[in-house]
Structure 1
Amino acid sequence: MKHRPAVLIASLIAALAGAGCSAGLPSGGARDADPDRLRLAMLQPPRSGLSPLSDDAFKLSRWSTAETLVGLDADGGAVPALATSWEQVDPRTWRLQLRDGVRFHDGTRLRATHAAASLTAAAQASPPPRILDGVTLRARALDGDTLEVTTADPDPLVPQRLSSPQLVVLSPAAYDGPAVDPVGTGTGPFELTEVDGTSGATLERFDGYWGERAALAGIDVAYVPDGTARAAALRTGEADVVEAVPVGQAARLDQDLVHEVPMPRTNTLYLNTERGPFADPAVRAAAREAVDRARIVASVYEGRADVAQGLLGPAVAWAAPLRDTPSYAAALAGRARPAARVDGVEISLGTFTDRAELPEVAVLLEQELEAVGFEVEQDVREYQYIEADALDGAFDAFVLSRATVLDSGDPVAYLYSDFACRGSFNLSQLCDPAVDRALERAAALPVGEQRQRATLAAEAAVLATDAVVPMLHERVVQGESARVSGVLRDPRERQLVATATDVR
């Protein structure tokens, strides 16, 4: 991957942060903005060098530089993207017809062999992309424009899986080196031309795009983990679009520039079930009872969030009615009773600074847990420096803001990833046969009401273990300057800049 300085707003935002994030418009700010380019301040830097096989794929998707075979509509249904149609040949086999006239940014024409190679690279990755947790997938070209995808077990969700940004299709050049390189190898309306490590990236309009020509000449991206600096960049006109404005900063901004997006994202406390104090279900139950969800919503989120009743929030509209059933209540009734005494029980609590609210949540959790007798030691870092430890089970408890339908538009993939014995993002180190059976039942059902009911049964099975305490469902705040139009407000955090996005 090539690395050279990109034309970014990073230095301007750094200056704002160093100057105490002054609200005044600095010289060289909005008055000198390129009228044809969008300046974007993003929450987190890349974690894996912009590899599409990691969560960095969602950056590539939000920049409209890399594309998938299938898209999702507002209800989570599969719609055409690089594939125009698909059919299920048998329970384990799907055939897709690719769009004609698509070229990669390096000029290569899209063929079925390229799509098969991209899917094969994802399927063989270690660890695999989250969307392929528990799925054995194979892809091959039947002819120039026909792709066949097979799974080891029947999987009714294959089209939705193929919509995951972690399964984007890149040109053969992307796979030449030791890491997958998205620079100049996508198919979207914007070509990724330069990357600057964890500082930013530059994209240019791709005039050979198969669809509508982009209105913008390009995009200048800066990664700004500091929430106050992101808000200041919007307020002073240094950025056109700002991801995840902290709720504590939102009230200080012009409210015409602030847009709340209801997100399928849950702020969750994960408890380590494998070792340490929380290996005891009764101690986990004591922690669950100590958490005051309403207090966290009112104080940290200033009311801009919803108290969690389960893992799936209001953005998953069908979830709440299905909780009001005898079977759901019976599953929760089987939870362990809280330990009578936890006085002096020492626990480590981790979280990260990239989402400004999380350290504040950790402070309140520490107070609430210590009020019932726990002794809490916090560890708070940037996400890129704490993720590996969290996945390795280094903490007794970890606070995470987690998207629940991020990958496929269907919550089963998230539940499997986070709570199955073989899940790749299992922060709770949970391995419970009842949970695995519930997840397997849900995964085997076709999209529809039966699958939804089975998904809620799996949620109940997870909650019955007390491996996790869902606290609240977030409403991410997106900032957009007055000079920008056509920015997407996507609950799934897949789309942001589109061909119709423009500045004036």
Structure 2
Amino acid sequence: MQKTIAAIAVLMASTMLVGHANAETVRWASSFDALTNDPHSQNSGRTHNFNRHIYDPLVGRDLDGNLVGRLATDWYLKDGDDTVWVFELREGVTFHNGAEFTAEDVVFSINRAKSENSNMRQLHADVVEVRAIDDYTVEVQMSGPSPLYVNNVTNTFIMDKDWAEENDVIDVQNYAAGEENFAVRNTNGTGPYVLVERDPDVRSTLQAFDGYWGETPQVTEIIWLPISDPATRIAALLSGEIDFVQDVPFQDIERLSQTDGISLVTGPENRVSYFGYKVSEEPLASSNITDVNPLSNALVREAIHLVVDREAIRQVVMRGQGTPTCTVAPLRVNGWREEYHECAPVDIERARELMAEAGYEDGFTITLDVSNTAPNHEVIGQAVVGMLGQIGIDATLASRPQAQHSPVVVTGETDFYMLSWGVPTFDSAYIFNDLVHSRTGSYGTYNPSGYADPEIDAMIQSLGVETDIEVRDATIAAIWDEIHDYRLLLPIHNDPLAYAMREGFNIAVHLENQPSMTTMTVE
């Protein structure tokens, strides 16, 4: 609450100084802040969204999800060797400090992104070597044929190698350990905006970079204001203190759509919200059952799936928004299947029978960890707590800001948690690598469940180098069969999106919820 009050106080002060913001300035309210400015530390959508205005990847995606060139102008498999990706780089690009962008920066950045502390490392797990052929050509040697690797680089941002060395940020920030480095609050990218002010969780200011290689954006200044309280965000929009709200509370969509002076746009997001839990044999830290883990019992996991009413969550909590689902694969992802998208009917009596068969007729206690700044996660968590109570599972809700919630999951210090997962590669392997594969090497970063199956791990790793599409799709289907039958995760819905802005500001909903102020128009 103190952070929210501070943000509003700063905002009001700036508003009094300048009156209405200039047409080229956008005051952007988000429900929570980027976790860090170290571009290779956290694989977080909001963090990528903020950093994307400062840094560029080699390849990006347009509003329809199509691959488009950024710092690379062309990319292809090397003639005669399908284990090597070639990236031809854009010439004449400079970093914000004036340094020239060259192939050595790409080599440095990919190697940094695949290093131990990076949450981006699973995307580059099959990379054996990155080499500069000349100043504007890079070859990436893969461990085998990797026809889809280019899909993995859309959120890997390119740093200035010399700047990183000068400021002792060759190594990636160890976020889970609470480490700070110079790149956490300081930046030097090739992107359209320069970071000029950074007060985490309060206020950040970005200004258009005069030397940007792309088109000059109409928005020349961004004031980024994390405001966790939904009512405060909307009140600031209605009062004219905010121009653009990224996270519109779903209970406010109908009202805002009928409010003069406010424009509202909605659409689906390439993301699923889900619950996960410990399934290993070790007893849960937060449960009154101290000799075994109740969630390691398949009957208990099936009971949980049968008692969670996703349609009720959509109608009551989400105000009719979102699409209930029983798969963590968003609709447009390769490997999505209708039969796993559809959920079995809610059956409380059968769920109670399963609990009794498992030996937990009287239920058990557990702590549910959720983010209170991720949109609607806390209220969805409250709803699920009530549903679980119907079969004797007494869940205590523990909510904390996203910056504290994410490390709880990554370090495995949770028995039961909620997250949402986007899929920027539009391929199931991205889900499997982080959420299903055991925690080994570059894999399993967001899998605190304890689930580990060597056969499934091998199948997942094979997806990175399999060139026969039919064989690869069959492997994906087999992995989904295992995940669904095992009830490894508890999906809730495909996430909806809603943006609201003052009249005169225009931006389309981005499929990955990565709105770029370079695409905003101001009348």
> Could you say which TM-score interval applies, normalised by the shorter chain?
0.7 to 0.9
Counterpart check, 1:132 vs 2:123: yes
Counterpart check, 1:123 vs 2:114: yes
Counterpart of 2:291 in structure 1 is none
CA distance in 1, matches of 2:475, 2:452: 19
Q: CA deviation at 1:401?
A: 2.4
Q: CA deviation at 1:247?
A: 0.8
Which residue of the other structure, out of 132, 145, 168, is the alignment partner of 2:158?
168
Q: CA deviation at 1:60?
A: 5.3
Counterpart check, 1:187 vs 2:196: no
Which residue of the other structure, out of 363, 378, 385, is the alignment partner of 1:344?
363
Counterpart of 2:277 in structure 1 is 271
CA distance in 2, matches of 1:259, 1:71: 23
Counterpart of 1:245 in structure 2 is 248
CA distance in 1, matches of 2:34, 2:495: 22
1:307 is matched by which residue type in structure 2? Answer: P
Q: CA deviation at 1:103?
A: 0.8
CA distance in 2, matches of 1:461, 1:272: 17
1:262 is matched by which residue type in structure 2? Answer: P
CA contact (8 A) 1:489 1:496 kept: no
Question: Mean Cα displacement is larger for which, 433-442 or 106-115?
Answer: 433-442
CA distance in 1, matches of 2:315, 2:367: 25
Question: Mean Cα displacement is larger for which, 95-104 or 449-458?
Answer: 449-458
Q: CA deviation at 1:50?
A: 4.6
Which residue of the other structure, out of 76, 91, 99, is the alignment partner of 2:82?
91
CA distance in 1, matches of 2:487, 2:54: 40
Counterpart of 1:333 in structure 2 is none
CA distance in 2, matches of 1:412, 1:29: 50
Which residue of the other structure, out of 16, 24, 28, is the alignment partner of 1:36?
24
Q: Provide the aligned C-alpha RMSD in A.
A: 3.0
Counterpart of 1:332 in structure 2 is none
Return closer, same or farther for 1:38/1:15 CA change in 2, 3 Å cut-off. closer
Counterpart check, 1:149 vs 2:140: yes
2:54 is matched by which residue type in structure 1? Answer: T
Counterpart of 1:496 in structure 2 is 516
3-state DSSP of counterpart to 2:255:
coil
Question: Mean Cα displacement is larger for which, 359-368 or 299-308?
Answer: 359-368
1:148 is matched by which residue type in structure 2? Answer: E
1:92-116 Cα shifts (integer Å, max 9, x gaps): 2111111111111111111101111
Q: How does 1:2-401 map to 2 (within 5 A)?
A: 13=8, 28=16, 32-55=20-43, 58-59=46-47, 61-62=49-50, 64-73=53-62, 76-89=65-78, 90-129=81-120, 131-132=122-123, 134-164=125-155, 166-170=156-160, 172-175=162-165, 176-178=167-169, 179=181, 181=183, 183-255=186-258, 257-274=263-280, 275=282, 276=284, 277-316=294-333, 319-321=336-338, 338-339=354-355, 340=357, 341-342=359-360, 343-401=362-420
CA distance in 2, matches of 1:197, 1:46: 8
CA contact (8 A) 1:183 1:191 kept: no
CA distance in 1, matches of 2:230, 2:467: 41
Q: TM-score, normalised by structure 2?
A: 0.82
Return closer, same or farther for 1:315/1:476 CA change in 2, 3 Å cut-off. farther
2:394 is matched by which residue type in structure 1? Answer: E
Q: How does 1:440-479 map to 2 (within 5 A)?
A: 440-446=461-467, 451-452=472-473, 454-479=475-500
**Percent of aligned pairs with the same residue?**
23
CA distance in 1, matches of 2:334, 2:314: 20
CA distance in 2, matches of 1:82, 1:120: 17
3-state DSSP of counterpart to 2:86:
strand
Long gaps (5+) in structure 2:
170-180, 285-293, 343-352
CA distance in 2, matches of 1:137, 1:243: 39
Return closer, same or farther for 1:61/1:99 CA change in 2, 3 Å cut-off. farther
Give the aligned length. 472
Which residue of the other structure, out of 419, 428, 436, is the alignment partner of 2:436?
419
Return closer, same or farther for 1:478/1:415 CA change in 2, 3 Å cut-off. farther
CA distance in 2, matches of 1:13, 1:450: 55
CA contact (8 A) 1:95 1:149 kept: yes
1:141 is matched by which residue type in structure 2? Answer: A
3-state DSSP of counterpart to 1:67:
coil
Question: Mean Cα displacement is larger for which, 150-159 or 98-107?
Answer: 150-159
Return closer, same or farther for 1:66/1:27 CA change in 2, 3 Å cut-off. closer
1:221 is matched by which residue type in structure 2? Answer: W
CA contact (8 A) 2:27 2:222 kept: yes
CA distance in 1, matches of 2:297, 2:338: 32
2:498 is matched by which residue type in structure 1? Answer: V
Counterpart of 2:453 in structure 1 is 432
CA distance in 2, matches of 1:73, 1:116: 25
CA distance in 2, matches of 1:471, 1:74: 25
Return closer, same or farther for 1:388/1:33 CA change in 2, 3 Å cut-off. same
CA distance in 1, matches of 2:307, 2:45: 37
3-state DSSP of counterpart to 1:412:
helix
Long gaps (5+) in structure 1:
1-8, 18-25, 326-336
Question: Mean Cα displacement is larger for which, 301-310 or 384-393?
Answer: 384-393
